[in-house]
Structure formats: C-alpha cells, structure tokens
Amino acid sequence: MKSDVFNKPARLKNPPNLGDYDEVCRSFDWRSVRKELDWFDGTKINAAYNAIDRHTQTWRKNKVALYWEDEAGSTRQYTFEQLSLLSNKMGNILKDFGVSRGERVFIFLPRVPELYISFLGALKIGAIAGTLFSAFQEQALADRLGNSDAEVVITNKELKERIDKVRKKLPALKHIITVDSEDFIKSFEHVSDELHIAHMDPDEYAFMLYTSGTTGKPKGVVHVHRAILQEHMTAKWVLDLRDDDTYWCTADPGWVTGIAYEILGSWSCGVAAVVYAGRFDPKRWYEILAKYKVSVWYTAPTAIRMLMAAGSNLVHEYDLSSLRHMCSVGEPLNPEAITWAIKTFDKPFHDTWWQTETGAICIANYPAMDIKIGSMGKPVPGITAAIVDDQGHKVPDGNEGNIALKPKWPSMMHTIWRRPHKYESYFTGGWYISGDRGMRDKDGYFWFIGRADDVIKTAGERVGPFEVESALVSHPAVVEAGVIGKPDAMRGEIIKAFVVLDKKYLRKRFRESVGFPESDKKALREELSQYVKKHLAGHAYPREVEFIDKLPKTRSGKIMRRILKAKEMGLPIGDTSTLEEY
Ligand code: PRX
C-alpha cells in the first residue's frame, strides 16, 4: 500500500523507552520482563497491587497518581499512598459484605474517583471486577449483571434507580453499595485502611468486560492478573510513559482502554494520570491539556476528528507545548487526522490496535519507528501477528485476510464467561482470529481493512447489531429490525436501523390504513430512536431509522445485514444464492 511516511525524528530529546524495536523483538521473551513487576514469593501476583500499592514502598509514595476534574471544574487529587489506603478501605467494605475471591463485583459509576478506588479494592481482595458504562440503561444492565451473576453492584444514588428497575431479574445480586449515600460515607470513614492483599495465581481472574459480536447478547470477556505484564510493558513502550509525565487517557473504564491504560498499565508505570469526568467538548479538552501540562495523550479517532472540526483558531488559544507523545485507539485513524496533528501539534498520533479480548495493545506505532501514515504499525515485541485465511494459513504479504495473533500472549482473555464454546470459536489452526480484516505489507506494517462481521464501531464504541435489534422489536410498533453501521465522516459509523412496522398497530395508533403521513413517520422514527436510547444505552441508539416492507433474509431466516449495508451504500449486493426471495 502506498502511503506517506512520517520519519521518526533523527534525535529525540528524550530517548524513548523502546529505543530499537527490531533489536528488542529479536531477543524478546516475556520471562525477561517479569522483573518489571512485584511478585509475592516469586510466583503470585496482584494487578492492583502492582498498579498502586507497590509505589508506596518507593519515593512515589507522595507523588500525585490522579488529578481528577469534572465538567463543572471541581477538582480532586490523590497520591499513590492515598489511592492505596482508600482502595484498602473499599476492599474491607466488600469483605464486610461477605465478598470473597472469585465473586463478581460490578461498578456502575460515572468517572468519579470512587470508580477507580472500587475497581482497585475489588482486585485487591481477589474478587472479579466488572465495569458498566454509565450510559447503560435497563436492558444493557440486566443482560450483563444477569449473565455474570454479579453479587455486588457499586453505584451512586442517581444510577441506582436503573438497577432497582431490573433487580427482580437478578437473583444473584445480594448487595448494592451506593457510594454517595450517608450510610456508605459513614462506614467508609470508619472502616480500616489496612488490608491483606490477595496473592493471586497469575491465571486467576481479575476483571471482566462485556463486549459485542454479531450474534447474541454481549459476552463476558474475562481477564487474569497476569495481564498486567503486557499492560505495563505496552504502557512503557507504546505510550512511552516516564516518571515526569502527566498522562491523559480519555477513555471511560466502562471500556477496556479505561481499565488497561487508565488504571492498570499506566499506574503500574508510576505515572501521574489526569481523569476528566465531563463530556466531550473541544474547549474543555484543550483546557485540560494546557492546565495539567499533559505530556502523553491517549485518545480516539472520533475525538480527534471532532477537534479538527472545531478549527485551528481554538487550538491556538492554548499553550499545548507540554505534549510529547500522542496515541490513538479504537477505530481506523484516518491519514488526515495524523496530518492535521503534525500541522497543529508538531507531532503525529501513533495508532495502536487491540481489542477487549486481547487485553492490551498488540500492534502499534512506536516513537522510535517511522510511521507509515494510515497503518496500525507493527506487533508489540513478544506478540506474533499475521494475516491468515479462514483456515488459519498465512497469506502472502500484500494480500487481504484475517488479522490473527499467536496464542498465548500475557493479556489474552482467559475465557468467555460461561460460554466456553464461544471462547473456542475464536481459534483456528493455532491462531486467534480477531474478527478484523487487514493486510501486512512487505516491511511488516499492518493495515486495517474492516470487520469480518457485522459489529458496529460508532465513535470508537463497539455495538452489536443484535442488541439494538432486540431493543427495537420490544417496541409495539416494530415487527422486525435489521441494524447496520453506516459510514460516517465524524463518528466512523453511525447506527442505522431498518424497521418493519406492525400494520395493525399503525392502524390503531394513527388511524391510517397504508402509508401514514410523513409527519407521523418522522415522529415515530424519532420515538424509536429515543426508545433504544432509554432502554438499552445512551450511546447505542440508531441515529437513523428507515421503514422498510421486508428485511432481506437467508432461507433459514437470518437477517442479511450485509445486503442492507450494500444497499445503503449503493454497492453491489454480492452473492444472494442463499437469500430468501427479496
Ligand atoms: O475493529 C477493531 C477496532 O476496534 C475493535 C475492538 O473494539 P473493542 O473491543 O471495543 O476495543 C477497543 C479498544 C481496544 C477491533 O476489533 N479497532 C481497535 N483499534 C483499531 C481498530 N480499528 C482500526 N484501527 C485501530 N487502531
């Protein structure tokens, strides 16, 4: 593939942590980096201890670990020692509630400090922590808490109302901890800040995250304590974190990026992290970058495109000279975004590729390597990546195929919660098949082509069409729905729903036989869109709804989303031999 190249600076002022990519790759062995972490008796480990507590034994004890700011401008800050003691307290609270090793503690909070403290506290007692994005509504919560059989949910007064509404569907849920209730505040004040940290087998479960595929409800991807090894090394090599950095990862811990690079890998590098708890706003984002003198910034293409759209005049109002290194994840990073960054910040964004299932960055661009603009870079040292066909055979360089990784890497998921067959289905011919299509060029750079399945990526967030379709058909006006990702210049994709309406319902409600007036149609489209927003999730609703008489289906009744997509984009619809008459 032809592309522009951003040549690495001839001499970087501060030599990067990963100085010579090829050299490190040649001799690399994961065992050689075990010493980067603290182990108990050489064999046991705790990821949260490595992220926070071990630093309290060093000069970092009083170093600020977290600079927190919300939308209104309130601020709080915590040292490593404070986070250590507060998460000890949370661990003790959970123990008092009877939580033991292996039990599921789900956290349903916006990005308040209590979220981070709860996550760490759960890991420190050996519980399995789960995070729930605060935009989730009843259906999304019921699916995730139900499948995981979560024993405890940690939330706040406002979000608790949503849990209350589905509680009767959750027989395993024993306790709801409300962090802004008087009861909790009082007991938190009195509980001990001394905690015995669970010494975990490296393969014991640490956290789980629900993510979407094409079919079925979201699946619980389970990660183990050992994953910290790769989260730490990639934070060091790819994000290039150093002790004098102020680091801002803009992701929410409801997603894997916020866990691996806002809590575990980044803090295990001892870095001071900024958390901004507000919504996206270009002005506020530049203010945060300038105010905290952010030096390393990890964000996502949609945000970058929105900053581009906000114009250069705005960015030039701020002194952003502290920025040293910038990375991006979650969706294709278009060349224009990199070119804009070079013009605006005098440095490029470094694309990184990985997934909820891979647990940490697996393919990346590094500060000491030339960037082929538009490429995702090269495999992390210790990771073997390849492009393979559907049988798991490598395809020649320059050809399209499945992006695949050689198991096992340290942060690879360990299972899909209670769905072992689903887990097995990821592996073919000795390779983990990612579900992404891509290409490797003759120089070993990997290029992203697209998803092999119907998974939607909207503003970097992964949404399964089935979840949205299920939410739509629970509305009385809807008989059937087919949902696709429609390419969008800003958000990568937006969710578009094709809906077959119930004629009887329409007659009753609109007193129309066939074809009701455009004004009613418009209102119903908006109603359906809002309905999904309210019942499923604030981010996973269709921005476009189109009424259609019939959905394209296979003879066995499966909705052919690829045909909906091809039609939407005016592309040839391809092989229709398995299609029911349409
Ligand atoms: O399709 C790929 C896309 O995001 C998917 C993984 O999504 P999720 O599990 O939510 O994790 C996102 C954050 C790690 C991938 O299968 N993706 C991720 N990074 C890139 C990307 N697509 C293109 N370029 C990337 N750098």
**Residue of 358, 462, 491 to test ligand 1 pocket, by largest number of atoms within 8 Å of CB:** 462
Least confident of 258-267, 336-345, 492-501, 567-576: 567-576
**Residue of 436, 447, 493 to test ligand 1 pocket, by largest number of atoms within 8 Å of CB:** 436
Of all protein residues, whose CA lies closest to atom 5 belonging to ligand 1? 355
Ligand 1 centroid – CA 416 distance (Å):
18
Contact criterion met (CB below 8 Å) for 69 and 75: yes
Of all protein residues, whose CA lies closest to atom 14 belonging to ligand 1? 355
**pLDDT at residue 1, rounded to an integer:** 56
| pLDDT tens for each residue of 154-167 | 999 999 999 999 99
Does domain 5-446 fall under CATH 3.40.50.12780? My reply is: yes
Ligand 1 centroid – CA 128 distance (Å):
24
Ligand 1 centroid – CA 352 distance (Å):
9
Parts of the chain belonging to CATH 3.30.300.30: 454-569
Of all protein residues, whose CA lies closest to atom 12 belonging to ligand 1? 330
Residue 39 predicted with pLDDT over 60? yes
Parts of the chain belonging to CATH 3.40.50.12780: 5-446
**pLDDT at residue 14, rounded to an integer:** 79
**Residue of 131, 372, 457, 463 to test ligand 1 pocket, by largest number of atoms within 8 Å of CB:** 457
Question: Residue 553: CA atoms inside 13 Å, Cβ hemisphere, count?
Answer: 13
Ligand 1 centroid – CA 160 distance (Å):
30
Structure tokens of 90?
A: 């949370």
In 238-310, which residue ranges form alpha helices assigned H by DSSP?
Answer: 256-259, 265-268, 282-291, 301-309
Cβ atoms within 10 A of the Cβ of 429, count? 13
d(CA 494, CA 3): 27
* Pairing verdict, β 219-224 and 415-416: antiparallel
DSSP-based three-state secondary structure for 353: strand
| pLDDT tens for each residue of 273-327 | 999 999 999 999 999 999 999 999 999 999 999 999 999 899 999 999 999 999 9
Tokens 């040293």 belong to: 324
| pLDDT tens for each residue of 533-543 | 999 999 999 99
Ligand 1 centroid – CA 389 distance (Å):
20
**pLDDT at residue 114, rounded to an integer:** 98
**pLDDT at residue 10, rounded to an integer:** 72
Residues with CB under 6 A from ligand 1: 211, 255-257, 329-333, 351-356, 376, 434-436, 448, 451, 457, 462
CA angle, residues 95, 158, 93, in degrees to nearest 5: 10
H-helix or E-strand spanning residue 472: helix 465-473
d(CA 395, CA 387): 6
**pLDDT at residue 2, rounded to an integer:** 60
Atom of ligand 1 nearest to the CA of 251: 13
Average pLDDT, the chain: 95
Range 74-87 average pLDDT: 98
Of all protein residues, whose CA lies closest to atom 7 belonging to ligand 1? 355
CA angle, residues 553, 450, 251, in degrees to nearest 5: 110
Q: What are phi and psi of 26, to 5 degrees?
A: -60, -45
Ligand 1 centroid – CA 48 distance (Å):
25
Residue 468 predicted with pLDDT over 80? yes
Q: Which residues of 356-380 are buried (b: 16+ CB within 10 A; e: fewer)?
A: bbbbbbbbbbbbbbebbbbbbbbbb
Ligand 1 centroid – CA 212 distance (Å):
12
**pLDDT at residue 9, rounded to an integer:** 75
**Residue of 355, 361, 447, 461 to test ligand 1 pocket, by largest number of atoms within 8 Å of CB:** 355
Of all protein residues, whose CA lies closest to atom 11 belonging to ligand 1? 355
Write down the CATH number for the domain with range 454-569. Answer: 3.30.300.30
Least confident of 21-35, 346-360, 561-575: 561-575
Report cis status (omega within 30 of 0) of the bond before 408.
yes
pTM: 0.96
**pLDDT at residue 572, rounded to an integer:** 81
Of all protein residues, whose CA lies closest to atom 6 belonging to ligand 1? 355
Atom of ligand 1 nearest to the CA of 455: 1
Ligand 1 centroid – CA 329 distance (Å):
7
* pLDDT band, very low/low/confident/very high, at 242 (cuts 50, 70, 90): very high
Residue 582 predicted with pLDDT over 60? no
Least confident of 28-32, 85-89, 313-317, 517-521: 517-521
**pLDDT at residue 341, rounded to an integer:** 97
Residue 401 predicted with pLDDT over 70? yes
Residue 12 predicted with pLDDT over 80? no
| Cα radius of gyration (the chain) | 24
